[in-house]
Amino acid sequence: MAFFQKFLEDISNDDSTKGCKGGPTETAYFGTVKADPNFNAQNDASKLKKAIETKGVDEATIVEVIAKRSNAQRQQIKAAYQQSVGKPLADDLKKVLKSDFEEVVLALLMTPPEFDALEMKNAMKNLGTSEAVLSEILGTRSNKEITAMRNTFKEVYGELLEENIKSETKGHLEKALVVLCKATRSEDLNIDEALAKSDARALFEAGEHRVGTVCSVLIDVLTTRSEAQLCKIFKYYGQYSKQNFAKALEGELHGSLEDCLITLVKSAWNKPAYFAEKLRLAMKGLGTNTDTLTRIIVSRSEIDLLKIIQEYKKMYGKTLQEDILKETSGDYEKILLALCGTQ
């Protein structure tokens, strides 16, 4: 896959600045959605009311207002709409919108913790838990984001997220997800060289250096060390093995545990590239996984979607917008493109 080719190229480079792209050290804004400088919540609420009441619904205005405002501004629009109309904006939109377009609009009206909590709930709601969604969210969010999601989950659903995870998963995967859910993972930007060397050797000896993988060692290191520390560990791993750690991990594990731990590896090394790969897989082959497409584009639109778009072009030779045009249609396509910004 394109991600592993990138990982191989970067890991073989002695420059320690490689990897850990888009991490917490960066303060510049890499979202594609920005606050409207001429924002007026009441005016936007009025525009949406008119769009909803228009015969056939004015979807273009809904896209223009919802996709071109920051999340904080959307919360103000919701409050203004409630005050002037006397009903929740989301309820009125549900009555007139449908399908994937409706899902994106409603997702954008939620706060980030509300949307993450909803996605976690949906992943565990039906028969057969979507472990990949649990791993994606818990493996890519900061401690602050996970704590906010966990608190929102309790407020909205009256349940503890950790208990839901325990009831829906088992074994080593359950252990890994529960540790991540606690939001106690190190976020220290300082690197401990001695610990990195020790962890690299421990990972090697717990995995490819023996028959039978000691999963507890892999889980302990990958779920507790900071992303910066993990990048250094991956570099030192090459002193013990002829292959990079990501590839070695693929050979040692399988199924949902592999997916969870590989998520942690990819997210630490290059988070935008990880999401670019997820978006590509969501649109590759027969049928488009619109749930994944919506979740990533909405949740990263004010964080690092600009970087994801850049990595997508590097990895696949075409723009994310080109593939969205090819794989989606109608108002769903229009709102995704609006969130991605110009090509």
| Residue 240 pLDDT | 92
Q: What dihedral do alpha carbons 255, 261, 265, 270 form, nearest 10°?
A: 70
Q: Answer yes or no: is pLDDT of 20 > 80.
A: no
Average pLDDT over residues 218-236: 97
pLDDT at residue 23 is higher than 70: no
Residues 133/2/296/39 CA torsion (nearest 10 deg)? 160
Is residue 14's pLDDT more than 80? no
Of 3.50.50.60, 1.10.220.10, 3.40.30.10, 3.20.20.30, which CATH number belongs to 41-96? 1.10.220.10
Distance CA(251)–CA(231), nearest Å, equals 20
Mean pLDDT of the chain: 92
d(CA 67, CA 107): 11
Name the segment(s) of the chain with CATH classification 1.10.220.10. 41-96, 126-181
Angle at 307 between CA 314 and CA 246, to 5 degrees: 65
Q: Structurally, what CATH architecture does the domain formed by 126-181 represent?
A: Orthogonal Bundle (1.10)
Residues forming beta bridges with residue 21, ordered by sequence position: 270
Q: Contact, 172 vs 216, CB < 8 A?
A: yes
Its pTM surpasses 0.85: yes
67's tokens: 């996709």
Question: What digits encode the pLDDT tens for the residues 160-175?
Answer: 999 999 999 999 999 9
